[in-house]
């Protein structure tokens, strides 16, 4: 948990430096260090003890000192000083889409705005009108940004929930009184966003478990606390519910608290028809306990096979289960490679070799390096000249590195008219072409749809990446006609991407299911910009599983030869 705390402080320092408009390289250095500390699989305090902090990429003498200081004193003096200049609440303003560091500084210095709530109030009182540097249009954009920001706060992303629940589980499952532990609720169903985190525990000493749960260091407030259940709010403002049950009820409780609510209601109806009653304690006939120890037992007495948590939404899975036609969901073990990643040739951090090695460590057969294309200057897009050099570098890596094949790819930009950023004779030189929209999000729906459809029609475009452009807490999906795009994709043998990047998850489960019904196939990709991010594939897999996809409709479960044959148009 120390890692999370230090990463958070480094991120805050980066934000303060940004608001103070200091050197961008220092800002990036703190951001990068934060990311790397979070990615560590051991606690930093161990590294401090063994004098091994310099092993963390991006951590030099200065940052090592600060990490050590925090481990010893639970404080970083430099950070305390910075907070006096720019109070903590001001940092929150930076998370509002369309509010940049310059505006934050202006708002804070001129209007003493110190929080998002304060900003809302200032706008409603008209205090932003006539401030030099703030136009009417800007105010409208800020208001839109605040709405998106608020929605992003109500529900956290699946990745955030996974991290927080993981920390809680680790602390609690270490207790000798805890016999079993599982997440439940929307997190276990792997929904793309999570309202609150639910944890279920088997223990014969619930009081001990409750005592520890409500006193964990990350707990800021205890909302409710009873003999076998409690709710807390964490320092990051997330609610966690924890319940302790008896071993003989664990399966029934798991079914009940995993939900969804609609799924539970259907199960109860099925039970009633069989003269049974099902609740969080078990399945009963009259008042006689029949079973409840495992989920399988509960499903079985209801005449059902085990239904994977990701499917439990009452969207037809119960009917399929009754007919014995549940899909065999695609899983992590099926994935043979990643088809959308970036290296330091465009806006990524890792080299091609580092990316390839990370792919090999995951047991992948291939990885496509799809750096950005020439017109995307902001992401250091590659010119035709650069492409030749990159190809040569990939050839070198491929001849040196055994066990994994690096594919020469591009994430090519689709321009405002639907034109592809490289000519066909360049495009055909790639092993794989992923196409995406990066600008002009505000065009009318018909134009956005036309752009994506015309990308599908290009003979050399294999995959459409992050098709709706949504970024949770940052930007809503743009209003495209998904059916049109899926039809075009099906007609042209173009594949749709499920982007696993935690705040994208784009396509989402519903669109994905619709596309699948139309016969479209998918690539589950991470869009990694650093070798440590390849693990995010699990979140894209969650989307795919919630959509009911089998491995056959996910092309990166194919071996390399089959994949290359499949994507040819
Ligand atoms: P969330 O937290 O908004 O992302 O969504 P959930 O699904 O985690 O909902 P939550 O935390 O309110 O409740 C956890 C589970 O407990 C839910 O999935 C199903 C079950 N549950 C909650 N309330 C009810 C209820 O009124 N009836 C039934 N049958 N089940 C309920
Ligand atoms: Ca929940
Ligand atoms: Ca809950």
Distance separating alpha carbons of residues 341 and 422, to the nearest angstrom: 19
Task: Return the pLDDT at 541.
Answer: 98
Counting every residue, how long is the chain? Answer: 569
Triad 470, 475, 478: Cα angle to 5°: 55
* pLDDT for residue 150: 86
Torsion angles phi and psi, residue 242, rounded to 5? -130, 135
Residues 6+ apart with CB under 8 A from 20: 85, 86, 105
Same domain, 395 and 255: no
- Can you give the pLDDT at residue 381? 94
Residue-level pLDDT at 475: 85
Same domain, 101 and 234: no
Q: Whose CA is nearest to atom 25 of ligand 1?
A: 261
**H helix or E strand, kind and range, residue 236:** none
* Same-domain status, 283 and 161: no
Whether residue 456 contacts residue 485, with contact meaning beta carbons closer than 8 Å, is answered with yes
CATH number at residue 82: 1.10.150.110
Count structural domains, the chain.
Answer: 4
Residue 207 belongs to domain with CATH number? 3.30.460.10
98 lines ligand 1 (CB under 6 A): no
Ligand 1 contact via 59 beta carbon (within 6 Å) = no
Q: Which of 232, 261, 265 to mutate to test the pocket of ligand 1 (most atoms within 8 A of CB)?
A: 261
- The reply to whether 403 falls in a domain is yes
| Tokens 């749960």 found at | 213
31 and 132 in a common domain? yes
Q: Is residue 459 part of a domain?
A: yes
Counting ligand 1 atoms within 8 A of each CB, the residue from 151, 152, 182, 186 with the most, and so the one to mutate, is 186
Cα distance between residue 469 and residue 243, in whole Å: 38
Q: Do 349 and 400 lie in a common domain?
A: yes
Helices (H), 496-559: 509-517, 537-546
Can you give the pLDDT of all 569 residues of the chain as single tens digits? 788 889 999 999 999 999 999 998 999 999 999 988 988 888 899 999 999 999 888 899 999 999 999 999 999 999 999 999 998 889 989 889 889 898 999 999 999 999 999 999 999 999 998 888 888 888 999 999 999 888 878 899 999 999 999 999 999 999 999 999 999 999 999 999 999 999 999 999 999 999 999 999 999 999 999 999 999 999 888 999 999 999 999 999 999 999 999 999 999 999 999 999 999 999 999 999 999 999 999 999 999 999 999 999 999 999 999 999 999 999 999 999 999 999 999 999 899 999 999 999 999 999 999 999 999 988 899 999 999 999 999 999 999 999 999 999 999 999 999 999 999 999 999 999 999 999 998 899 999 999 999 999 999 999 999 999 998 888 888 889 999 999 999 999 999 999 999 989 999 999 999 999 999 999 999 999 999 999 999 999 999 999 999 999 999 999 999 999 999 99
Q: 198: Cβ below 6 Å to ligand 1?
A: yes
**CA of 264 relative to ligand 1 center, distance in Å:** 9
Identify the residue whose tokens are 């495992």. Answer: 294
Q: What b/e sequence results for 26-47 when a residue is b if at least 16 CB atoms lie within 10 Å of its CB, and e otherwise?
A: ebebbbbbbbbbbbeeeebbeb
Q: Does residue 327 form part of some domain?
A: no
Q: How is residue 100 written in tokens? A: 């940049």
Give the end of a domain, one of 279, 297, 322.
Answer: 322
Residues 138 and 221 both lie in one domain: no
Question: Residue 233 in 3-state DSSP?
Answer: strand
Please report which residue ranges of 370-494 form alpha helices under DSSP H.
384-400, 424-427, 445-457, 482-492
d(CA 179, CA 202): 5
Which of these three, 154, 181, 207, is where a domain ends?
154
pLDDT (0 to 100) of residue 135: 86
The DSSP bridge pattern shows strands 197-203 and 178-184 to be antiparallel
| Ligand 1 atom closest to Cα of residue 187 | 8
With DSSP H G I counted as helix, E B as strand and the rest as coil, what are the percentages for the chain, rounded to 5? 50, 15, 35
Taking the CA atoms of residue 69, residue 74, residue 78 and residue 81 in that order, the dihedral angle to the nearest 10 degrees is -160
CB 253 less than 6 A from any atom of ligand 1: no
| Residue 283's CATH number | 3.30.210.10
Predicted local confidence at residue 330, as pLDDT: 98
Asked whether residue 268 is domain-assigned, the answer is yes
CA of 505 to the centre of ligand 2 (A): 19
Structure tokens at 568: 């040819």
Q: Is 239 in the pocket of ligand 1 (CB under 6 A)?
A: no
Q: State in Å: Cα 379 to ligand 3 middle.
A: 40
Tokens of 213: 């749960």
Helix (H) / strand (E) containing 137: helix 136-154
Same domain for 44 and 135? Answer: yes
Instruction: State if residue 260 touches ligand 1 by the CB under 6 angstroms criterion.
Output: yes
Task: Kindly state whether residues 429 and 478 are assigned to the same domain.
Answer: yes
Q: Is residue 483 part of a domain?
A: yes
Q: Do 357 and 473 reside in the same domain of the chain?
A: yes
Question: Would residue 186 count as lying in a domain?
Answer: yes
87's tokens = 């109070």
pLDDT value at position 219? 94
Residue 234 domain-assigned (yes or no): yes
Helix, coil or strand: residue 549: coil
Q: From residue 56, how far is each of 3, 42, 85 by CA, in Å?
A: 12, 11, 29
Given 322, 351, 386, the domain boundary residue is 322
Alpha-helical segments (H) within 249-323? 250-258, 261-273, 295-301, 317-322
Element at 242 (helix H, strand E):
strand 239-245
Q: Please state, in angstroms and rounded to a whole number, the distance separating the CA atoms of residues 358 and 535.
A: 10
Handedness of CA 398, 401, 402, 408 (dihedral sign): negative
Residue 331 CA, ligand 2 centroid: distance in Å: 23
Q: At 463, is the secondary structure helix, strand, or coil?
A: strand
For residues 417 and 545, state if they share a domain: yes
Is 154 near ligand 1, meaning CB less than 6 Å away?
no
User: Which atom of ligand 1 sits closest to the CA of residue 193?
Assistant: 4
Q: Is 157 in the pocket of ligand 1 (CB under 6 A)?
A: no
3-state SS class at 27: helix
Residue 195 and residue 129 share a domain: no
Are residue 435 and residue 365 in the same domain, yes or no? yes
The answer to whether the beta carbons of residues 484 and 449 sit under 8 Å apart is: yes
CATH number for 494: 3.20.20.140
Secondary structure of residue 256 in the 3-state scheme? helix
Ligand nearest to the CA of 231: 3
| d(CA 250, ligand 3 centre) in Å | 17
Query: Residue 554 domain-assigned?
Result: yes
Residue 35 domain boundaries:
2-154
């Amino acid at each position: 948990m120390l890692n999370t705390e230090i990463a958070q402080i480094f991120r805050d320092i980066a934000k303060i430096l940004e608001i103070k408009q200091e050197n961008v390289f220092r800002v990036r250095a703190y951001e990068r260090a934060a990311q790397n500390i979070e990615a560590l699989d051991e606690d930093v305090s161990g590294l401090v003890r063994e004098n091994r902090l310099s092993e963390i990429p991006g951590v030099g003498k200065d940052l090592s000192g600060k990490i050590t200081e925090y481990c010893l004193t639970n404080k970083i003096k430099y950070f305390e000083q910075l907070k006096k200049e720019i109070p903590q609440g001001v940092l929150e303003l930076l998370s509002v889409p369309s509010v940049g560091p310059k505006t934050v500084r202006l708002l804070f210095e001129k209007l003493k705005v110190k929080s998002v709530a304060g900003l809302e109030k200032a706008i409603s009182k008209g205090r932003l009108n006539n401030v030099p540097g703030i136009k009417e249009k800007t105010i409208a954009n800020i208001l839109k940004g605040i709405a998106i920001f608020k929605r992003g706060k109500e529900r956290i992303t699946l990745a955030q929930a996974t991290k927080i629940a993981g920390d809680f589980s680790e602390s609690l499952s270490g207790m000798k009184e805890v016999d079993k532990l599982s997440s439940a609720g929307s997190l276990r169903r792997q929904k793309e966003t999570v309202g609150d985190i639910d944890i279920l525990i088997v223990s014969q000493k619930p009081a001990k478990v409750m005592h520890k749960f409500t006193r964990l260091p990350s707990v800021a407030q205890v909302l409710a606390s009873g003999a076998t259940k409690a709710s807390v709010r964490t320092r990051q403002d997330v609610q966690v519910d924890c319940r302790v049950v008896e071993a003989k009820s664990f399966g029934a409780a798991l079914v009940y608290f995993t939900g969804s609510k609609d799924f539970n209601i259907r199960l109860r109806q099925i039970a009633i028809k069989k003269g049974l009653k099902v609740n969080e304690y078990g399945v009963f006939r009259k008042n006689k306990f029949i079973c409840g120890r495992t989920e399988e037992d509960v499903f079985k007495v209801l005449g059902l096979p085990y239904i994977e948590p990701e499917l439990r939404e009452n969207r037809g899975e119960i009917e399929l289960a009754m007919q014995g036609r549940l899909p065999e969901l695609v899983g992590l073990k099926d994935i043979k490679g990643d088809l959308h990643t970036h290296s330091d040739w465009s806006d990524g951090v890792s080299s091609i070799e580092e990316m390839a090695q990370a792919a090999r460590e995951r047991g992948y057969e291939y990885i496509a390096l799809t750096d950005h294309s020439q017109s995307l200057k902001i992401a250091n897009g590659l010119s035709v000249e650069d492409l030749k050099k990159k190809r040569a570098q990939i050839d070198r890596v491929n001849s040196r590195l055994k066990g994994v094949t690096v594919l020469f790819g591009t994430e090519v930009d689709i321009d405002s008219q639907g034109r592809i950023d490289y000519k066909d004779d360049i495009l055909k030189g790639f092993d794989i072409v992923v196409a995406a929209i990066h600008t002009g999000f505000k065009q009318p729906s018909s134009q956005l749809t036309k752009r994506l459809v015309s990308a599908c029609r290009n003979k050399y475009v294999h995959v459409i990446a992050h098709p709706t452009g949504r970024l949770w807490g940052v930007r809503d999906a743009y209003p495209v006609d998904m059916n049109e795009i899926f039809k075009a994709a099906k007609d042209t043998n173009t594949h749709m991407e499920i982007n696993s990047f935690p705040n994208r998850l784009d396509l989402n489960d519903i669109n994905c299911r619709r596309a699948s019904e139309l016969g479209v196939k998918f690539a589950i990709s991470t869009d990694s910009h650093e070798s440590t991010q390849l693990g995010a594939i699990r979140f894209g897999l969650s989307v795919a599983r919630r959509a009911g996809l089998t491995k056959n409709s996910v092309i990166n479960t194919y071996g390399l030869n089959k994949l290359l044959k499949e994507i040819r148009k």
